[in-house]
Amino acid sequence: MAKRRNDALPALSDAEWKVMRALWARHPATARELLAALTTETGWAYTTLRTLLARLVEKGAVSESKEDGTSVYEPLLREDRARSTAVRSLLERAFDGGFGSLVHFMLENEELSSRDRTELERMLLESKKKGSRS
């Protein structure tokens, strides 16, 4: 198995994100349990899911253990850490690392609902209050 540095999180493909979301929602889980949860969304064959799980184990995002000869999977990568890595990667690739550029893009190019805008304002005010207390 390939080793990765503790601080280096694996990049996940779109298919791997689907598997991880299913695993975060229900774990520990067997491949058959995960397939049942993913079938309507993906239409994957059992072998496809097993290949994805093997990749996730190799990346260090998932652990595999045997119970009565059946592989049981557990997430090793926490959802919040995976999201953080994905957002940082997006910022670097598409916005030269600038979070402000991303927010500006969202405000200018996406149709944010009034509720989304209100929530964004609330989060910014909350963040500003936390910053002034430090």
Has residue 5 been placed in a domain? no
Domain that holds residue 102: 80-133
Residue 8, pLDDT score: 61
pLDDT of residue 15: 96
Residue finishing a domain among 53, 77, 101: 77
Number of domains observed in the structure of the chain: 2
Q: Is residue 86 situated within a structural domain?
A: yes
Query: Is residue 73 within 8 Å of residue 62, measured between CB atoms?
Result: yes
Are 24 and 63 members of one domain?
Answer: yes
DSSP string, 29-84: EEHHHHHHHHHHHH---HHHHHHHHHHHHHHTSEEEEEETTEEEEEE-S-HHHHHH
Among 57, 77, 97, residue at a domain's last position: 77
pLDDT at 4 (0 to 100):
41
pLDDT value at residue 74: 97
Question: Are residues 73 and 126 both part of a single domain?
Answer: no
Tell me what pLDDT residue 21 has: 96
Residue 3 domain-assigned?
no
Looking at the fold, whether 55 and 98 belong to one and the same domain comes out as no
Can you give the pLDDT at residue 58?
95
pLDDT at 11: 84
Give the pLDDT confidence score for residue 134 in this predicted structure.
Answer: 55
95 and 46 assigned to the same domain: no
Query: CATH number, domain at 85?
Result: 1.10.4040
Do 73 and 20 belong to one domain? yes
Q: What is the pLDDT of residue 5?
A: 39
Q: pLDDT under 50 in the chain at which residues?
A: 1-6
Are 65 and 109 part of one and the same domain?
A: no
Per-residue pLDDT, 32? 96
